[in-house]
Structure 1
Amino acid sequence: NGTIKAAVAMIDRLQIGSITVNDVQTIVLDDRALRTNLIGMSFLNRLDKYQVENGTLLLVQ
């Protein structure tokens, strides 16, 4: 809990493996703000399907 600094930005092209999404809105945080990377809903909602199977995130475009 608390306050952090963040910047809103637009990613022209975001590619994860064979999945590519253009014009994805993002929030950029300080490197120390999180312990891991996040894939946000602004990316996931642009896919045909996403789900977790046996602890693995499945992305379908």
Structure 2
Amino acid sequence: MSVPLIFFILTALAGFGLLICGVFTLFGMGWALLAASVSMFLISGFIQKGLTGE
């Protein structure tokens, strides 16, 4: 397994985990968790573009 693929999987899973935690909290820190999940999904999308070469 290549290192960028591992980073892609970890950032996508972290984004999904932050999204779930943010949805179940939704008070104060929940909105920060939702913002962090969006950031992680954008990072994983950027890595995916690099992996596919498009």
- TM-score scaled by length of structure 2: 0.28
More helix by share: 2
More strand by share: 1
- TM-score scaled by length of structure 1: 0.26
Question: Which structure has the larger Rg over C-alpha atoms?
Answer: 1
